[in-house]
């Protein structure tokens, strides 16, 4: 397979994952967590059954890696205000108690696994720091305005 | 002999320098010990992220909506990221000059003016890094956004100059080549 053919296939696979899976998620933070979850914890390589069967495991791996990096950089560039909104949407879409999810996120910091392998360490640190701050702001809002309609609308 | 005003000024400067030194030392202690990846030739931090690290927009958002504890957390977190960026930039500047020096040692056609220019830029950037480090450690990152963006621009220019000097010179044309 020539390099240019491979590149076209990776682009097709990338468009495919965007159309079939990522577009159905409600926010970029959700997309980021989803893409990170397609990565093997031990080897760091990506895998997606549907995409692998439509293309090849190698093409699928590359497309997922690119998509992961792109969404990661997009979320890392968000302002704090946008990130708090992303967290609100993500928690609401999880269909779990937002307070419980919030506590788990603050304690275990599961968002750490969302960082791709080959990224600038400063951007990686900015992302983690911003998520921590957004969680603190979200928590503060929940505590200070329990009757706030925006938090009241979240599923319990 | 130094008069009272002179002693007072000297004392104030000394206290100020000590304060900067203490704050900088404390900030250095807060930085992660493992700086391995920072020294590697990993991709540099894009400018939009530099702007975000030193963002006034985020600071205003936190100021307007949050409690003092969240504001303190914001300041601590952003300061950590800003200092890491300065440290990374500083290390990359040092590495670039080291590589350049090693390359120049084996070079036969040395341009004194170009070398002087690159060294002057190196000194300017290292001084800026020091100034930025002290300013961020002392006041936090929000007040120095313009300086940070300026430093990033200068750094990118430094990288480009170094790359242009490192690029292999075009092969010398043989006399008479191409003509019959």
Q: Is the pLDDT of residue B146 over 60?
A: yes
Candidates A68, A5, A13, A3; CA nearest to A37 is A68
Q: What is the mean pLDDT of residues B51-69?
A: 91
Cross-chain residue pair B67–A76, CB shorter than 8 Å: no
Q: Domain total for chain A?
A: 2
Of the residues A71, A98, A113, the one at which a domain ends = A71
Nearest CA in chain A to B68: A140
Regions in chain A scoring below 70 on pLDDT:
1, 145-156
DSSP per residue, A79-115: -HHHHHHHHHHHHHHTTS-HHHHHHHHHHH-GGGGGS
Please give the residue range of the domain that contains residue A126: 80-152
Query: pLDDT tens, B68-95?
Result: 999 999 999 999 999 999 999 999 999 9
**Inter-chain touch A132–B42, beta carbons under 8 Å:** no
B73, B79, B86, B129, best to mutate vs chain A, most A CBs in 10 Å:
B73
In sequence order, the β-bridge partners of residue A46 are: A39
Instruction: Give domain limits for chain B.
Output: 47-166
Of A42, A71, A100, which residue constitutes the final position of a domain?
Answer: A71
Q: Do residue A7 and residue A64 come from a single domain?
A: yes
| A90 and A61 within one domain | no
In 10 A of CB B169, how many CB atoms? 7
Helix boundaries (H) for A21-148: 28-37, 49-54, 57-76, 80-93, 98-108, 121-144
Q: Does A59 share its domain with A103?
A: no
Of A103, A133, A119, nearest to B45 by C-alpha is A119
What's the predicted TM-score (pTM) here? 0.81
């Amino acid at each position: 397979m020539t390099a240019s053919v491979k590149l076209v296939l990776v682009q097709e696979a990338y468009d495919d994952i965007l159309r079939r899976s990522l577009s159905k998620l409600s926010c970029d933070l959700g997309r980021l967590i989803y893409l990170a979850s397609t990565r093997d914890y031990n080897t760091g390589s990506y895998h997606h059954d549907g995409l692998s069967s439509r293309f090849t495991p190698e093409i699928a791996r590359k497309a997922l890696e690119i998509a992961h990096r792109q969404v990661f950089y997009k979320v890392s560039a968000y302002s704090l205000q946008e990130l708090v909104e992303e967290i609100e949407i993500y928690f609401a879409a999880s269909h779990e108690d937002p307070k419980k999810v919030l506590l788990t996120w603050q304690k275990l910091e599961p968002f750490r696994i969302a960082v791709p392998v080959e990224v600038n360490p400063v951007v990686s640190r900015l992302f983690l720091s911003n998520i921590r701050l957004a969680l603190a702001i979200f928590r503060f809002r929940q505590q200070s305005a329990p009757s706030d309609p925006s938090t009241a609308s979240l599923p319990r | 002999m130094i008069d009272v005003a002179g002693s007072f000024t000297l004392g104030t400067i000394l206290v100020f320098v000590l304060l900067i030194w203490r704050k900088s030392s404390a900030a250095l202690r807060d930085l992660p010990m493992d700086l391995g990846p920072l020294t590697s030739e990993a991709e540099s931090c894009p400018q939009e992220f530099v702007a975000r690290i030193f963002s006034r927009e985020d600071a205003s958002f936190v100021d307007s909506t949050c409690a003092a504890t969240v504001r303190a957390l914001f300041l601590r977190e952003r300061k950590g990221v800003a200092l890491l960026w300065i440290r990374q930039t500083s290390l990359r500047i040092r590495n670039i000059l080291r590589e350049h020096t090693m390359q120049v040692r084996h070079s036969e056609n040395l341009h004194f003016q170009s070398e002087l220019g690159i060294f002057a830029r190196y000194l300017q950037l290292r001084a800026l890094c020091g100034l930025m480090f002290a300013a961020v450690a002392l006041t936090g990152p929000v007040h120095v956004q313009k300086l940070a963006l300026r430093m990033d621009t200068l750094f990118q220019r430094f990288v480009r100059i170094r790359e242009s000097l490192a690029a292999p010179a075009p092969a010398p044309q043989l006399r008479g080549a191409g003509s019959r």
